[in-house]
Amino acid sequence: MSRPLVVIPTYNERENLAAIVARVRAVVPVARVLVVDDGSPDGTGALADELAAADAAVLTLHRAAKEGLGAAYLAAFEWALERGFDPIVQLDADGSHLPEQLPSLLEALEGTDAAGEPVDLVIGSRWVAGGAIENWPRHREWLSRAGSAYARWLLRLPTRDATAGYRAFRAEALRRIRLEDVHTRGYGFQVDMLWHAREAGLTIVEVPVTFVERVRGRSKMSAGIVIEAMLRVTGWGIRSWFGHGVPRPADDHGSASKRSHA
C-alpha cells in the first residue's frame, strides 16, 4: 500500500462531509482523501475546500454540474491514476460505508483469493456471511438483493453484492479495465464497473461490511433510477448471452462527460 486514495463523491452532503472525512483520516492516516463535488447547491464544495485548507491530506475535485455518480468516479479515477495513487477506494459521503471497515478492505487487497491469485479489486459486501445492513426497510433490502441476484445471473458476475459502492481497486486494475469503455453515468455504474472488471480478468474478492442507511441528507435514489439500471443490465445481459462482450464506445449512449478540473 504505497499511496492510498479514498474518493468521496458528493452532491448536497454538507451535513455529512466533515464527519466522514474526519473518520477516514482517523482510521487510515496514511490515506489521502479526494472529495469530488458536482457543484452542490448546498455549498458542499466550499466546505470541501475549507477541509482541504485545514488538512493537506484532503484534496478536492470540482465539477461544474451534476453528471451522476459514475461520471464523478470516472473523473476521479483518471485524476488519481495521473497522480500515481494506489490503491484507490470508493466511499459514500452519507455514512453508509463505515470508514472503520476500510482496513479490512485494504488488507484483503494485499492478499490473495481462494485460488492464491493476488487480489485486484475488493468489494465491501452486504450479502456475504458477516455482511449486514442497518436501518433498511424490508422492501429496500429485497430490492437490493434481487437486483444483485439478477445482475449476477444475467452477467455471470462473480460477487454476491453486485451494486455495492464500497470498493478498493489496485491502480493497475483500474488501468486494465479501460475506463474509456465504461459509459454508465448513473446508478448502473457499479454493476457496469464490476462487469468490465470481470471481462478484464481481474481477481475480485468480497469482504463483509455493515451498510448503514443514511441518517442525514437526502438520497439521490429513485424508482426511475432503479428501473433505468435494471433495463441497462438486461440489455448488457442479452448482448453477452449472444456472444458480444462489453459494449464498445459507439454502442452505448452515455453522454460524453465534460472533463473535470481540479
With contacts defined by CB under 6 A, name the span among 25-33, 62-70, 227-235, 237-245 that binds ligand GTP.
62-70
Residue 69 interacts with ligand GTP (CB under 6 A)?
yes
Kindly state the helix (H) or strand (E) to which residue 71 belongs, with its residue range: helix 69-82
Residues pairing with 97 in the sheet: 211
Name the residue among 115, 55, 79 with its Cα closest to residue 259. Answer: 79
List helix spans (H) across 128-241.
Answer: 138-155, 171-177, 189-199, 223-241
- Please report, as residue ranges, which positions from 12 to 51 form the binding site for ligand GTP (by CB under 6 A): 13, 36-38
Q: Which of 94, 120, 161, 206 binds Mg ion (CB under 5 A)?
A: 94
Residue 96 interacts with Mg ion (CB under 5 A)?
yes
Residue 120 interacts with ligand GTP (CB under 6 A)?
no
CB of 240 to ligand GTP, least distance (A): 24
Q: Which of 62, 145, 176, 214 binds ligand GTP (CB under 6 A)?
A: 214
13 binds, among Mg ion, ligand GTP, none (CB under 5 to 8 A by kind): ligand GTP
The smaller minimum CB distance to Mg ion, of residues 16 and 203, is found at: 16
220 binds, among ligand GTP, Mg ion, none (CB under 5 to 8 A by kind): ligand GTP
How far is residue 60's CA from residue 93's CA, in Å, rounded to a whole number?
Answer: 14
Residue 215 interacts with ligand GTP (CB under 6 A)?
no
DSSP character for 112? Answer: B
Q: Are 201 and 243 in contact (CB under 8 A)?
A: no
With contacts defined by CB under 6 A, name the span among 22-30, 60-68, 100-108, 174-182 that binds ligand GTP.
60-68
* Interface characters, 73-112, with ligand GTP (x: CB under 6 A): -------------------xxx-x----------------
How far is residue 226's CA from residue 235's CA, in Å, rounded to a whole number?
Answer: 14
Residue 260 interacts with Mg ion (CB under 5 A)?
no
Question: The C-alpha cell of 225 is what?
Answer: 433510477
Q: Prior bond to 137 cis, omega within 30?
A: no
Residue 192 interacts with ligand GTP (CB under 6 A)?
no
Q: Are 80 and 5 in contact (CB under 8 A)?
A: yes
Q: Are 159 and 152 in contact (CB under 8 A)?
A: yes
Residue 68 interacts with ligand GTP (CB under 6 A)?
yes
Q: Which of 23, 62, 220, 239 binds ligand GTP (CB under 6 A)?
A: 220
**Can you say whether residue 130 is alpha, beta or left, with left for phi > 0 and alpha for psi between -120 and 50 degrees?**
left
Q: Which residue is nearest to ligand GTP (CB)?
A: 219
Which phi and psi (to 5°) does residue 85 adopt?
-75, 145
Place of cell 462527460: 257
Which residues bind to ligand GTP, rule: CB under 6 A?
9-11, 13, 36-38, 66-69, 72, 92-94, 96, 214, 219-221
